[in-house]
Chain A
Amino acid sequence: MEEILDNPYLQPIIATLLIVAVFPLVAGYMVLAERKVLADLQVRLGPMRVGPYGFLQPLADAFKLMLKEDIIPAASDKWIFWGAPVLSTFTALTAFAVIPFSDKFYVADVNIGILFILAMSSLGILGLILGGWSSNSKYSLLGALRSAAQMVSYEVPLGFTTVTALMVAETLSMQGIVQSQLDKGVWIAFSNYGLMLVPAVVFIIAAVAETNRAPFDLPEAESEIVAGFHTEYSGFRWALFFLAEYASIFVICGIAVTVFFGGWLRPFANVGFLETPLNVAFPILLFVVIGAGCALGAVRVTLAYEKAIMGVLALAMFLVAGLFAIPMINELIIGFFWFLFKVLIFIYVFIWVRGTFPRFRYDQLMQVGWKYLIPISMGGLIVNGIVLLFTS
Chain B
Amino acid sequence: MKELLKAVFLVDLIKGLAVTFRNQKPSLIYTEQYPKERPLVAERYRGAPRLNVHPDTDETLCIACNLCALACPEQLIVVGAERNKETRRKELTTFTYDVSRCMFCGLCEDACPVDALELTQDFELASYTREGAIWDRQMLEEGPLPTEYKH
In the complex, what's the smallest C-beta–C-beta distance from A334 to chain B, in angstroms? 29
Find chain A residues with CB under 8 A from B17 CB: 352-353, 356
Q: How far is the CA of A353 from the CA of B13 in the complex (A)?
A: 9
Q: How far is the CA of A320 from the CA of B31 in the complex (A)?
A: 33
In the complex, what's the smallest C-beta–C-beta distance from B59 to chain A, in angstroms? 43
Q: How far is the CA of A357 from the CA of B17 in the complex (A)?
A: 8
B84 interface residue, CB < 8 Å from A?
A: no
Supposing A352-B17, A356-B19 touch, asked if A48 and B33 sit within 8 A by C-beta, the answer is yes
Q: How far is the CA of A355 from the CA of B31 in the complex (A)?
A: 17
Is A303's CB under 8 angstroms from B30's CB? no
Q: How far is the CA of A302 from the CA of B23 in the complex (A)?
A: 28
B128 interface residue, CB < 8 Å from A?
A: no
B16 interface residue, CB < 8 Å from A?
A: yes
Q: How far is the CA of A288 from the CA of B97 in the complex (A)?
A: 60
A43 interface residue, CB < 8 Å from B?
A: yes
| Contact of A356 (CB < 8 Å), options: B16, B26, B31, B151 | B16
B19 — nearest CB in chain A belongs to which residue?
A: A356
Is B20's CB under 8 angstroms from A41's CB? yes
Q: How far is the CA of A252 from the CA of B24 in the complex (A)?
A: 26
| Contact of B28 (CB < 8 Å), options: A43, A355, A357 | A43
A112 interface residue, CB < 8 Å from B?
A: no
- CB within 8 Å of A: which B108-125 residues: none
B29 interface residue, CB < 8 Å from A?
A: yes
A46 — nearest CB in chain B belongs to which residue?
A: B31
A44 interface residue, CB < 8 Å from B?
A: yes
Find chain A residues with CB under 8 A from B13 CB: 356-357
Find chain A residues with CB under 8 A from B16 CB: 356-357
Find chain B residues with CB under 8 A from A356 CB: 13, 16-17, 19-20
Supposing A302-B151, A303-B151, A357-B13 touch, asked if A352 and B29 sit within 8 A by C-beta, the answer is no
Supposing A48-B33, A357-B16 touch, asked if A43 and B151 sit within 8 A by C-beta, the answer is no
Is A45's CB under 8 angstroms from B29's CB? yes
29 chain-A/chain-B pairs, Cβ below 8 angstroms: A40-B24, A40-B29, A41-B20, A41-B21, A41-B23, A41-B24, A42-B20, A42-B23, A43-B23, A43-B28, A43-B29, A43-B30, A43-B31, A44-B29, A44-B31, A45-B29, A45-B31, A45-B33, A48-B33, A302-B151, A303-B151, A352-B20, A352-B21, A356-B16, A356-B17, A356-B19, A356-B20, A357-B13, A357-B16
- Given A44-B29, A45-B31, A302-B151, list of 19 further CB < 8 A pairs? A40-B26, A40-B29, A42-B20, A42-B23, A43-B28, A43-B31, A44-B30, A44-B31, A48-B33, A303-B151, A352-B17, A352-B20, A352-B21, A356-B13, A356-B16, A356-B17, A356-B19, A356-B20, A357-B16
